[in-house]
Amino acid sequence: MLHILHGADLHLDAPFTGLSAEQARQRRSELRELPRRLAELARERGADLVLLSGDLFDGSDPYAETAQALARALGQTGCPVLIAPGNHDPYGPRSPYALLSWPENVHIFRTAAMEAVPMPKLGCTVWGCAFTGVSREDSPLDGFAAPRDGDVHIGILHADVEGKGRYAPLPESDIAASGLTYLALGHIHACSGLQRAGETAWAYPGCPEGRGFDELGEKGCLWVTVDGASVEAEFLPLARRRYRLVEADLSGADRPGDALLSALPADAGDDILRVVLTGESDVEGLDLTPLKALAETKCWSAQVLDRTTVRRDLWSRAEEDTLTGLFLRQMRLRLEGAADEDERGRLEEAVRFGLAALEHREEPMA
């Protein structure tokens, strides 16, 4: 049985453009901690292999301390580490992969063609290749087939499955023909979960830390167990901070701050939130600055966006000789006969939805 810790797309030294300069600096230093936590995870769980499928660095010229911290951490995994450089950190004579001295247990793939690294103690062979420039338009597995020699064959690549573009487009048919038991991929930043093409299982772990609101929620790596032909994968969260979207409905709220606070999740202390204010608000020209400060008492960083609509006088058109007028007169009668507050609330909501539908506006948020 083989236990593999599979990570990709760390993007160390990413600029974190959505944050203040101070917070971006803090994020970069937190990101630099990621390899250490990855190594700890490998050691604690007793991994047989660590596979890192490219884009470890955001650019080919990372800070020296970042590359050194990565090399140091990877020396502490207690097992072989294999790296397949990606389009953000291609292998080249001036890349940190060539310039830095890496610990003995770290193997870096250096060629665009597939290279075999036999692991006799583990009864497996790891095949991998590298981006050697910022793009490649061929499939790295074109014509590739691992020998049927009784070994378990594992692959590691930075590639774009079913992609058409410049980042190693990889047809699923090439994966199916590869003879690999597991293919550890990098490039796509959302975790794919375990996929299958023919007899080959493949997966993208996604990036282990989000860098913006297009990389939401829990992020991490994969713990892959290979037992003969059977492959299983477990997602392990690793992100220090999550990006999350939150909606705060201000409808009927006298104090927007209270509505905002009650919408914030209790476990967001370390997270980066985008709070979208919705609903009908009586407050014209909401002041977002104090609301942002208030939100940041419950999370690490917040953006606050105003998407509220100003409350309209619902009944102003009740006397019109139109369908809208008829609808409003009917609803007014029902409201007058409402048995309790609950029913009143539901009817008022029905009026808002009905008006939105009749006027072809977007439905108000319920």
Tell me the closest approach of the beta carbon of residue 135 to Mn ion, in angstroms: 13
Beta-sheet strands, E only, within 136-242: 152-158, 160-161, 169-170, 182-186, 195-197, 200-203, 220-227, 230-237
Tell me the closest approach of the beta carbon of residue 207 to Mn ion, in angstroms: 7
9 vs 160, which CB is nearer to Mn ion? Answer: 9
238 vs 260, which CB is nearer to Mn ion? Answer: 238
User: In this structure, are residues 154 and 180 in contact, taking their beta carbons and an 8 Å threshold?
Assistant: yes
- Give the total of residues touching Mn ion (CB under 5 A): 2
Query: Applying CB under 5 A, which of residues 9, 13, 48, 160 lies at the interface with Mn ion?
Result: 9
- State CA 350 to chain mean position distance: 37
Tell me the closest approach of the beta carbon of residue 35 to Mn ion, in angstroms: 16
Stretch near Mn ion under the rule CB under 5 A, chosen from 54-62, 119-127, 165-173, 321-329? 54-62
Beta bridge partners of 6: 51, 222
CB burial string 155-185: b at 16+ within 10 A, e below: bbbbbbbeeeeebbbbeeebbbbbbbbbbbb
Stretch near Mn ion under the rule CB under 5 A, chosen from 48-56, 126-134, 160-168, 355-363? 48-56
Tell me the closest approach of the beta carbon of residue 3 to Mn ion, in angstroms: 25
54 vs 256, which CB is nearer to Mn ion? Answer: 54
Nearest CA among 146, 193, 211, 153 for reference residue 174: 146
52 vs 119, which CB is nearer to Mn ion? Answer: 52
Radius of gyration of the chain (CA): 27
State whether residue 231 is helix, strand or coil: strand
217 vs 354, which CB is nearer to Mn ion? Answer: 217
State whether residue 72 is helix, strand or coil: helix
Structural tokens at position 45: 């769980």
Stretch near Mn ion under the rule CB under 5 A, chosen from 9-17, 25-33, 96-104, 122-130? 9-17
Nearest CA among 262, 241, 266 for reference residue 250: 262
Tell me the closest approach of the beta carbon of residue 185 to Mn ion, in angstroms: 11
Tell me the closest approach of the beta carbon of residue 189 to Mn ion, in angstroms: 6
Tell me the closest approach of the beta carbon of residue 75 to Mn ion, in angstroms: 24
Stretch near Mn ion under the rule CB under 5 A, chosen from 25-33, 47-55, 233-241, 337-345? 47-55
* 48 is a site residue for Mn ion (CB under 5 A): no
Tell me the closest approach of the beta carbon of residue 187 to Mn ion, in angstroms: 6
State whether residue 311 is helix, strand or coil: coil
Tell me the closest approach of the beta carbon of residue 293 to Mn ion, in angstroms: 34
Q: Find the residue with minimal CB distance to Mn ion.
A: 55
Stretch near Mn ion under the rule CB under 5 A, chosen from 8-16, 161-169, 278-286, 356-364? 8-16
* DSSP H or E stretch at residue 106: strand 106-108
Fill in the per-residue mask, 242 to 261: x = in contact with Mn ion (CB under 5 A), - = not in contact: --------------------
Dihedral sign for Cα atoms in the order 52, 93, 103, 128? positive
Tell me the closest approach of the beta carbon of residue 220 to Mn ion, in angstroms: 15
Helix ranges (DSSP H) in the chain: 21-32, 34-45, 64-74, 96-99, 172-176, 256-263, 288-295, 323-336, 341-358
Q: Which of residues 327-356 bind Mn ion (CB under 5 A)?
A: none
Cβ-proximal residues to 269 (8 Å cutoff; 6+ apart), any chain? 298, 299, 300
Query: Applying CB under 5 A, which of residues 13, 55, 174, 209 lies at the interface with Mn ion?
Result: 55
Taking the C-alpha atoms of residue 70 and residue 53, their distance in angstroms, rounded to an integer, is 14
35 vs 279, which CB is nearer to Mn ion? Answer: 35
9 vs 174, which CB is nearer to Mn ion? Answer: 9
State whether residue 233 is helix, strand or coil: strand
The binding site for Mn ion (CB under 5 A) comprises: 9, 55
